[in-house]
Structures are given as C-alpha cells and as structure tokens.
Structure 1
C-alpha cells in the first residue's frame, strides 16, 4: 500500500454556509468508503493556508488514489492535489542503494 497526501481547496460556494461542511464531509466519506473499500484513511486535518484540508490515506496503487480524488472533486465543491509520500526509512534505503 502506498501512502498518499491529498490537499483540498474548497470553492467559495462550499463555505458560504459553514454548517453544511460537516454534512458535505459525511457524504464524501460515505461515498469513498462505498466505492474504495481498499483505501485506509489515516488522518484528516483542517489547515490554514492555500488549502482547506489535508488528508492522509493508504491506497493499493495510484489508480485507487486517483479515484479518491475524483470522488472528492465530483461533489463540485473542491479542487485537489494528491502526492505520494515515502516513509523516511524507505527513502533512506532508496538513497543508500543508488548507484553512483
């Protein structure tokens, strides 16, 4: 399983009524659970800055991670940016095995 980080920025329309954000989140979460049962959610944060949310999840491959991002965007209230993350010990191992 790969670890993915997804940054989400909500549209102004989505935050016009902040109380609806919890309901929107519940709908997105339910759809991801239904359509991507192989995805394991690690963490979900509201953040300050250029994006509104940071999500960390594990997925078996890039196709599954892409499906998660597509589901989030399909609600029409957000844009996403998704990155693959490499655990530090694995990264160090990759570096150590590079041929110079």
Structure 2
C-alpha cells in the first residue's frame, strides 16, 4: 500500500463555534469510511500554521485517496493538498 499525506485548511464558514467542528469531523469521517473502504487512516494531527490538519493515510488505489480528499473538501468545507509519501529508508534505497 502507498502512503499519502492529506493537508487541509478549514474554511472560516465551515462552523460558527469550535465545538461544532466535532460534529462536522464525525460526518466527514463516516462518509469517507463508507465511500472509500480502501483508504486506511494511520494518523491525524491538528497543526498550527499554514494547514489546520495533517492526515496520514494508506491506500492501494490513488483514486480512493482522491475521492477521500474531495469528500474532505465538499463535506468538510476545506481546501486540501495531497502528497504521495515514501518512507525515508525506501527512498534512500532507491537512489
């Protein structure tokens, strides 16, 4: 399985109260689990800076990762940037 990093920025219009974000996140998560069964969530981080969230996922099919990113955009009211990631040791061995 390949590893991908999904970087997300939340729209200011996505929620009024930060507590409402929990409901929004649960909705997006459930939608991805249902529609993208080939995507395995490895870890998620809230971050400070350019992006609000960093998700590390694995999938055999990049199309499912693309779909997951689009669900985050549509239902999570976010912008996303998705990166293919290679473990450092694998990267060095390929050189």
With normalisation by structure 2, the TM-score equals 0.94
Structure 1 moving runs of 4+ over 4 Å: none
Alpha-carbon distance, 1:94 to partner: 1.0
Unaligned runs of 5+ in 2: none
Q: Deviations over 1:26-79 (max 9, x none)?
A: 000000000111111000111000110000000112211101101111116100
Does the alignment pair 1:3 with 2:3? yes
**Which of structures 1 and 2 has the bigger CA Rg?**
1
With normalisation by structure 1, the TM-score equals 0.89
Alignment-derived partner of residue 74 in structure 1: 74
- Look up the SS of the partner of 1:38 in the other structure: coil
CA distance in 1, matches of 2:61, 2:94: 19
CA distance in 2, matches of 1:4, 1:55: 8
Aligned length: 95
Alignment-derived partner of residue 50 in structure 2: 50
CA distance in 1, matches of 2:73, 2:53: 13
Please identify, of 9-18 and 64-73, the stretch whose mean Cα deviation from structure 2 is larger. 9-18
* Cα RMSD, aligned residues only: 1.1
